[in-house]
Structure 1
């Protein structure tokens, strides 16, 4: 009687296992698709427009892309800190700003470097150059005086707010002068690159419009219907969860049937 009941349970669990397994085989996985995409990126160098802003497809490969747009007159800025140096016309200048709360100007003073091998000594707060006289005697000459003798008076330039200034090959304007720095500003093109990955979102256009990207072969489709795309991805995720559950039922049911069979048909002692 015990073995007969065990046989019934084994049959039930095997039926459950087989049924779950057959459902796994029959189930059709849903796919994610984009109907009527806002943009289809199909080749490198392709141009497209979002709310009046033109983009260029700078790279396209494996369901992902990079798109770039160029702002022709972007604003750049830089600071020349007090006592820092700056190159201009192949000459190094030191930035000197008066120690005032609201300075009206700054001065660029040519940096005159001593030649290699020049011997100097420091006495107190003063630095001297050791000069060898014609008779073999040595004398000490203050370093600033020595530089004037060797190079002449250093070139100086005055900067005021609104002045033009050549900086890093850019024609800049002195925007402001503070006790800490000279503020420069200029206009120049600026290129911004955005990465577009399949399944992720990207903001494009002057209004930061959100698009979801979908890789399709060698193309990338952009859709502004992010909600519909996410719903499809959730359906795919839910499908995989159900399939995993069916596999679990099938495997556990088979194991349960095997265990019942082994326990039911163990030999009796005595």
Structure 2
């Protein structure tokens, strides 16, 4: 009797496990899609489109991913040059005031003398650009943080401050001064403004071109000009963008619910199979007496 009852329960739980597995195997997982009629933008590689006055360009599409670019030709950019005031006179960054190699200058931050009763380090207010010269032609040494040129006259040598040597071009800049320099990234001359002079860095702002890139991923969202869009790739050559995020999120919720149901069925199948094994083992145990 025990054996027969055990077999019946084993069959029952095997059927339950098989049924749960069958539902899992045949269940079709929902996908996030966007109908072309409901898309705000239907785009291909190379297309331009406008979002609230900003023009974007689809630079790349393929395999469910893509890239959108926004080119800002009037972006406020900045460059920082290093020039430690307490270091070597030529230890700072090189700044080019023209397009040729002969237009190279060394940047040196001018450190002011602190007052005797001032415990805080004085902040610099100026920096010096020193024309890069041939070491064989000019010998420049540093004395008390200042650059001097060794000048020989009548067999004697004397030190002349580099700003007083006519053969070496020097330029002094303060905050708010304009400066024209060569931008090696854009390979062009730009007009900048000195906005900050620190003990180690000089900051210059200028107007230039900046390219912002935005990644597109299938079934994800992207924010363009403060507007959020759902992304769907119907093919490798096209992408749809929709601003109907409620419908877009509803599809994500369906996928999450489907995943929860499938996970629950896996638990049912696993527990039913395990229970069938345990009952089968008990059914074959010998009965005392």
TM-score between both structures, scaled by the size of structure 1:
0.73
Q: Is the 8 A contact 1:82 1:182 kept in 2?
A: no
Q: Is the 8 A contact 1:170 1:186 kept in 2?
A: no
Pair 1:167 & 2:181 matched:
yes
Moved more, 17-26 or 104-113: 104-113
* Distance in 1, Cα, partners of 2:147 & 2:178: 36
Counterpart residue number, 1:73: 74
Larger radius of gyration: 1
Map of 1:54-93 to 2, 5 A cutoff?
A: 54-78=55-79, 84=92, 86-89=95-98, 90-91=102-103, 92-93=105-106
Structure 2 vs 1, CA of residues 253 and 198 (structure 1 numbering), >3 Å: closer, same or farther?
same
* Distance in 1, Cα, partners of 2:125 & 2:5: 103
Pair 1:214 & 2:223 matched:
no
User: What is the aligned counterpart of 2:245 among 209, 213, 226?
Assistant: 226
Structure 2 vs 1, CA of residues 109 and 253 (structure 1 numbering), >3 Å: closer, same or farther?
closer
Structure 2 vs 1, CA of residues 130 and 170 (structure 1 numbering), >3 Å: closer, same or farther?
closer
Map of 1:20-169 to 2, 5 A cutoff?
A: 20-35=20-35, 36-42=38-44, 44-78=45-79, 84=92, 86-89=95-98, 90-91=102-103, 92-95=105-108, 99=112, 108-115=129-136, 141-142=157-158, 144=160, 153-157=167-171, 159=173, 164-168=178-182, 169=188
3-state SS of 2:247 partner: helix
Structure 2 vs 1, CA of residues 221 and 86 (structure 1 numbering), >3 Å: closer, same or farther?
same
* Distance in 2, Cα, partners of 1:257 & 1:82: 78
Q: Is the 8 A contact 1:30 1:235 kept in 2?
A: yes
Structure 2 vs 1, CA of residues 65 and 158 (structure 1 numbering), >3 Å: closer, same or farther?
same
**Distance apart, 1:10 and its partner CA:** 2.5
* Distance in 1, Cα, partners of 2:262 & 2:147: 85
Pair 1:260 & 2:262 matched:
no
Structure 2 vs 1, CA of residues 220 and 127 (structure 1 numbering), >3 Å: closer, same or farther?
closer
Gaps of 5+ in 2: 86-91, 114-121, 183-187
3-state SS of 2:9 partner: helix
Root mean square deviation, CA, Å? 4.3
Counterpart residue number, 2:118: none
Q: Is the 8 A contact 1:103 1:177 kept in 2?
A: no
3-state SS of 2:33 partner: coil
Gaps of 5+ in 1: 134-138
* Distance in 1, Cα, partners of 2:161 & 2:26: 96
**Distance apart, 1:172 and its partner CA:** 1.3
* Distance in 2, Cα, partners of 1:231 & 1:126: 70
**Distance apart, 1:129 and its partner CA:** 6.5
* Distance in 1, Cα, partners of 2:244 & 2:54: 20
